[in-house]
Amino acid sequence: MFQFTQEEKENIQKTEGTYSSRGIWDTLAGIETIFGKEKRKEVEEAMGEAGYNLSKMGKGATIPVNYFTALLIIQKKVLNLDDEGVRRVGKESAKLSFLLKFASRFLVSLEVLVDNANNAWRKYYNHGELEVVEFNKEQKRAIAEVKDFWGHPAHCRYLEGYFEKIVFFVLGRKVKCREVECPFEGGKVHKFLITWE
Ligand SMILES: [Zn+2]
């Protein structure tokens, strides 16, 4: 029987807003691609045990965002993932994202991506803001901030992988994304440094 720790429960409760259930299905599909069908089933069963019934959830439904927080905590524990493992799931899920479909359709530049970051965030989240606060093409670096959003450290690792994949897709170069400030580490916002070759 899957159980959250007290701390995990508190983080789930503190994460406000709604989310497009599509992100849940993309993440589960990512898990299946990396770890196989059986592991996906284990994650779905643990979600059920924790009180999140996925079978009743439509593909385009609007759900509380903390369902997603719960999924990220559950997959980390059930699949025994380290930070890199969670990033990998983020990357795999990003391949299926709205944003990547948009990017591939319009062959966007990094500038367009930067300008549309928050619109892309809004496709999934109705709460929080995603803003690119620094973008330096010469130095090959950008800083993105997620404000007004709680989550869980597993969500931060997931976003690192997710952002890495999206920027990689647009640039076609090796990308690294690491969080440099985080509310879980005493910071004000989730701040991500993205660098590329
Ligand atoms: Zn964070």
Query: Model confidence over 103-137: pLDDT tens digits?
Result: 665 567 888 889 989 988 998 999 999 999 999 99
Q: What is the 187 CA–ligand 1 centroid distance (Å)? A: 8
Task: Give the Å distance between the CA of 128 and the centre of ligand 1.
Answer: 13
The three-state secondary structure class of 109 is coil
User: Given this model, what pLDDT does residue 9 score?
Assistant: 96
In 40-53, which positions are buried (b, 16+ CB within 10 angstroms) versus exposed (e)? Answer: bebbbebbeebebe
Residues sharing a CB contact under 8 Å with residue 137, sequence separation 6 or more, in sequence order: 110
Calpha distance 59→43 (Å, rounded): 18
Structure tokens at 159: 């976003």
pLDDT of 97 higher than 90? no
State the distance from the centre of ligand 1 to the C-alpha of 106, rounded, in angstroms: 30
CA distance 124 to 99: 10
Looking at residue 125, the DSSP 8-state letter turns out to be: B
What is the CA(83)–ligand 1 centre distance, in A? 13
**Rounded to 5 degrees, what are φ and ψ at 77?**
-80, -45
Whether the pLDDT of residue 15 is over 80: the answer is yes
User: CB atoms < 10 A from the CB of 17, how many?
Assistant: 16
- Going from the Cα of 150 to the center of ligand 1, the distance in angstroms, rounded, reads 8
CB 12 within 8 Å of CB 146: no
Q: Is the pLDDT of residue 150 over 90?
A: yes
pLDDT tens-digit series, residues 151-185: 999 999 999 999 999 999 888 899 999 999 999 99
pLDDT tens, 43-89?
A: 999 999 999 988 888 888 999 999 999 999 999 999 999 999 999 99
pTM: 0.94
Per-residue pLDDT, 30: 96
As a whole number of angstroms, the distance between CA 181 and CA 11 comes to 18
Q: Which domains does the chain have, with CATH numbers?
A: 6-94 (no CATH), 107-196 (3.30.1380.20)
